[in-house]
Amino acid sequence: MTRTTSPRNPWIEWIYLALAVAGAILPWLANLDFIQSSGNVFDLSRFIALANANAAAQSLSRDLLIGASAITIWMVVEAGRLQMRGLWVALLCSATLAFACGAPLFLWMRERRLREIQLAGQGAETSDDSSGKQATSS
């Protein structure tokens, strides 16, 4: 039985890539403002204190920590399942730039890998179809 798959939407790759770029730039604009207001150094203890300064900040910080942890675990598992290369780039971006960059970057890489797998599967189906036709025409 031949499994049919719908073609992958190429626009989703561009959306993920645009989100990765925005996820690198926008948080770092805020980080640069923070650095400037901290005497041109990244004061990690002050950053953490401000991230917990009130209930709203605590809510966002904890939400990001838990959500990013779950998605990072999924990224590692999914990359292994799909035999993706370059996972380290997305993880490094998450750790050094922003999770808002690393997660969409991973999704972009994943979409490209899924398209690659789909194209390889279509090639295999074509060769299976042609070998089947040759066998019946003999």
Query: Where are the domains positioned within the chain?
Result: 10-123
CB atoms < 10 A from the CB of 107, how many?
21
CB atoms < 10 A from the CB of 40, how many?
8
133 has pLDDT over 60: no
Residues 58-80: tens digit of each pLDDT: 999 999 999 999 999 999 999 99
Which has the closest alpha carbon to 71: 114, 51, 100, 97?
100
The confidence score (pLDDT) of residue 9 equals 81
pTM strictly above 0.85: no
Residues 4-34: tens digit of each pLDDT: 456 678 899 999 999 999 999 999 999 999 9
